[in-house]
Amino acid sequence: MKIEQLGRHILVEYYNCDKDILKDHAIIEEHMKEAAIVSNATIVTSCFHKFNPWGVSGAVIIQESHLTIHTWPEYGYASVDLFTCGDTVNPWLAFKYLEDALKAERSESTEVARGLVDKVKTFSNGAYDNIQVKHKMEG
């Protein structure tokens, strides 16, 4: 059975990453932008912030949704969200790229189907009977 959805949202935990990479605002931004490119996304803009004394939070806004990261260098940990829509972007390519770029020794991930078409149709009181769907998740 295939589940029709509007988007894919991968929630990622990267463990025991390179602490120097996680501290570096410029490197984190570069890696996140490259993850978007590798996944075939179209970058619209980005915004990153370095915390004192360390840690970086940032977002890459893509035409197809967004990629976000929050780092805790003191723990070697990064939390990442990869949310994409459309059929041309593969968020799992971004996942693998970041796993390698951050030098994570371990990662855990969960994919969430976003905008389940049946629910969107049901809860819109029939206002959106003709929804374009690009993704189908095996269920």
Q: Report the catalytic residues.
A: 65, 70, 85
DSSP string, 67-79: EEEEEEGGGTEEE
Cα 118 to chain centroid distance, Å, stands at 24
CA atoms 104, 107, 111, 112: torsion sign: negative
Other C-beta atoms within 10 Å of 37: how many? 16
Judged on CB neighbours under 10 Å (0-12, 13-18, 19+), 76 is buried
> What separation in angstroms does the CA of 113 have from each of 53, 71, 88, 139?
36, 25, 16, 10
